[in-house]
């Protein structure tokens, strides 16, 4: 077998932190020869074996030929997968995951892969955990950058090898004034209030005077950026270009880390995902989820609007599988309100429960999810936020059998799809904290929406801000991570509604439910697409 094939085999298993002995390598070569695998298909074939191997309970870092033999035999015997024989049951494949239930996986520099935390996370955290959370974000982004085609050397010899870009560290700048460098780090403020780029080895002050305009995206404090510039005698980096780190598609990330159960609901193979995806498209083409945001229960038009929406569902036999109601559930903050305000807040939820309970055909099959907004009553105000106080929702829980109290953010797993739901005023918060040369002067509203989506997905994090701007629970920072990319991301925001698909991830903002009309979004899993729904009260038509 050619050296190129051997290098490909070694490279694939190395992604999973596995090493291969001579006997194991020979065994893999025999499999490829026996099935007459072409050179172009070697990597994908070995990828399947490597992923299945790492799912085994008795898998070791140095690949065991006995375990690998068992995996190979199982793959041969699979034939028609059991998934194909069973009728699809949406409820058995629908899971709701709160931020505080997600397993804690961190990036291990030593192993070069994700590693499950030994100790359960705590709400209090520590100074060390805050530093660790930021470094973990950097490491997750960095491993994506280094795997990108513009940075990572190819397995096979290539004429483009000389064009590949090399990342440097801040410690490599010292004594090299006049040279040009490319760095990856976090935009932050020094103790003197100067804008710096921080990485794991140190920091360097940034000089934006020679930069005409930044790359696409929103560059905020707490944002990780690729910065190219010349190191000066004044120990500054004179920036000539700044951009977001490259985003890695869900399929690419899953092909590498498909054996890791990030959600705690059992991982599935890419092969299973592909088969389920086809069946969802064919067999559940009419299944929908509804998403509403800023459901102000203290507004006189809100409950009539929800009633009108549910009436339409019944009249048209269009019953959604899930209805997600995002806060704020009050138009004014009552965090410091008196007992009368809190009682009124609870009464509004009771009225919602009474209304929904009258639609027996809906509550029999539809799941209702409540996600708190910034003004709602929860036990904490930092991210991730806990659920709305359960004591205020007792009637909802007693009258609606399939009600779920979601954290902010929370997630849904539906067959092969991961859907992230996040309620925050993201656009306003990000725009307030843009640093450097700001945003291009000629951007329009559509550009801003695209920049916001691009930034959050490129950063692989729901809150790419420093903790003094947006406090977070450091030991639950993994619940804000967007890696691997979700299938869909709902950025519920009071800003204008939009929908954008970026690097295969469908992102949309349903906007505020109350306005000149009643507006919400429907999501169709079969198409991985959303649509805006607008309707008026009967008196307005």
Question: Using H for helix, E for strand and C for coil, what is the string for 363-414?
Answer: HCCCEEEEECCCCCCECCCCECECCECHHHHHHHHHHCCCEEECCECEEEEE
Confidence tier at 335 by pLDDT (50, 70, 90) = low
Query: What's the mean per-residue pLDDT of the chain?
Result: 90
Which of 414, 508, 448 minimizes the C-alpha distance to 95? 414
What is the C-alpha separation between 46 and 281, in angstroms, rounded?
29
pLDDT for 190-233, tens place per residue? 999 999 999 999 999 999 998 877 888 999 999 999 999 999 99
pLDDT > 80? residue 461: yes
Running DSSP on this structure, what letter comes out for residue 485? P
Per-residue CA distances from 323 to 292, 313, 367, 425 (Å): 8, 12, 6, 21
Phi, psi of 450 (to 5 degrees): -65, -40
**Alpha-carbon distance 424 to 373, whole Å?**
7
| Backbone φ, ψ for residue 346 (5° rounding) | -65, -40
Percentage of the chain modeled with pLDDT above 70: 93
Q: Model confidence at 267, in pLDDT bands (50, 70, 90)?
A: confident
- How far apart, in whole angstroms, are the C-alpha atoms of residue 162 and residue 179? 18
Q: Would you state the pLDDT for residue 266?
A: 79
3-state class (DSSP) for residue 492:
strand
Helix (H, G, I), strand (E, B) or coil at 518: strand
Q: What integer pLDDT is reported at residue 76 of this predicted model? A: 72
With a cut of 90, say whether residue 255 has pLDDT above it: no
Which residues are bridge partners to 189 per DSSP?
Answer: 195
pLDDT band at 310 (very low <50, low <70, confident <90, very high): very high
State the pairing for strand pair 498-502/180-189. unpaired
Evaluate whether 494 touches 512 at the Cβ level (below 8 Å): yes
Would you place residue 155 in the very low, low, confident or very high pLDDT band (cuts 50, 70, 90)? very low
Q: Are 247 and 257 in contact (CB under 8 A)?
A: no
How far apart, in Å, are the Cα atoms of 295 and each of 92, 186, 330? Answer: 29, 36, 7
What's the order of all strands across the beta sheet hosting 94-98? 94-98, 410-414, 417-423, 488-492, 505-509, 498-502
Residue 18 pLDDT exceeds 60: yes
Q: pLDDT per residue over 233-248, tens digit each?
A: 999 999 999 999 999 9
Q: Are 227 and 238 in contact (CB under 8 A)?
A: no
- Residue 48: is its pLDDT beyond 90? no
C-alpha closest to that of 418 among 277, 515, 224: 277
CA gap 448, 343 in Å, rounded? 40
Return d(Cα 64, Cα 285) in angstroms, integer.
43
278-303 confidence digits (pLDDT tens): 999 999 999 999 999 999 999 999 99
Top pLDDT among 134 and 338 is at 134
What's 422's DSSP letter? E
Which one, of 195, 186, 182, 174, lies nearest residue 228 by Cα? 182
Instruction: Tell me the average pLDDT across 56-72.
Output: 84
């Amino acid at each position: 077998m050619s050296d190129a094939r051997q290098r490909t085999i070694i490279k694939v298993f190395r992604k999973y932190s596995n090493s291969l002995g001579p006997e194991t390598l020979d065994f893999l070569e025999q499999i490829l020869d026996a099935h007459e695998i072409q050179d172009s298909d070697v990597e994908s074939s070995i990828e399947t074996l490597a992923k299945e191997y790492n799912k085994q309970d008795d898998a070791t870092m140095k690949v065991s030929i006995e375990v690998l033999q068992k995996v190979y035999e199982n793959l041969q015997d699979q034939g028609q997968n059991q998934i194909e024989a069973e009728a699809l049951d949406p409820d058995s494949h629908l899971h709701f995951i709160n931020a505080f239930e997600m397993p804690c996986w961190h990036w291990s520099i030593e192993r070069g892969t994700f590693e499950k935390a030994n100790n359960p996370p705590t709400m209090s955290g520590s100074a060390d955990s805050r530093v660790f959370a930021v470094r973990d974000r950097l490491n997750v982004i960095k491993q994506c950058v280094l795997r990108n085609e513009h940075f990572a050397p190819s397995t096979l010899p290539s004429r483009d090898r000389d064009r590949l870009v090399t990342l440097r560290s801040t410690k490599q700048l010292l004594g090299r004034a006049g040279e040009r460098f490319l760095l990856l780090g976090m935009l932050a403020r020094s103790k003197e209030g100067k804008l710096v780029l921080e990485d794991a080895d140190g920091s360097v002050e940034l000089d934006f005077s020679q930069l005409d305009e930044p790359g696409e995206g929103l560059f905020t404090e707490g944002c990780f950026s690729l910065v190219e510039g010349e190191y000066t005698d004044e120990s500054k980096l004179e920036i000539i270009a700044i951009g977001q780190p490259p985003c890695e598609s869900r399929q690419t990330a899953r092909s590498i880390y498909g054996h890791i159960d990030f959600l705690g609901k059992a991982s599935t193979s890419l092969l299973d995902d592909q088969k389920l995806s086809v069946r969802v498209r064919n067999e559940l083409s009419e299944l929908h989820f509804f998403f509403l945001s800023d459901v102000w229960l203290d507004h006189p038009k809100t409950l009539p609007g929800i009633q009108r929406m549910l009436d339409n569902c019944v009249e048209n036999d269009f019953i959604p599988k899930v209805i997600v109601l995002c806060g704020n559930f009050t138009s004014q903050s009552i965090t410091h309100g008196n007992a009368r305000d809190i009682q009124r807040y609870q009464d509004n939820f009771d009225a919602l429960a009474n209304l929904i309970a009258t639609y027996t055909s809906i509550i029999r099959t539809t799941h209702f999810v409540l996600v708190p907004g910034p003004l709602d009553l929860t036990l904490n105000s930092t991210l991730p936020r806990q659920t709305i106080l359960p004591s205020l929702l007792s009637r909802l829980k007693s009258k609606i059998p399939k009600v779920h109290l979601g954290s902010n953010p929370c997630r849904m797993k539906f067959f092969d799809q991961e859907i992230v739901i996040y309620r925050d005023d993201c656009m306003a918060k990000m725009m307030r904290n843009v640093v450097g040369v700001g945003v291009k002067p000629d951007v329009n509203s559509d550009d801003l929406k695209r920049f916001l989506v691009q930034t959050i997905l490129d950063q692989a994090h729901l809150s790419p801000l420093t903790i003094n701007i947006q406090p977070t629970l450091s030991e639950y920072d993994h619940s804000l991570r967007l890696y691997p990319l979700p299938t869909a991301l709902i950025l519920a925001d009071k800003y204008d509604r939009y929908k954008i698909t970026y690097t295969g991830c469908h992102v949309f903002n349903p906007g505020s439910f109350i306005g000149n009309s009643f507006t919400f979004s429907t999501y169709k899993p079969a198409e991985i697409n959303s649509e805006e729904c607008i309707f008026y009260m009967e008196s307005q038509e």
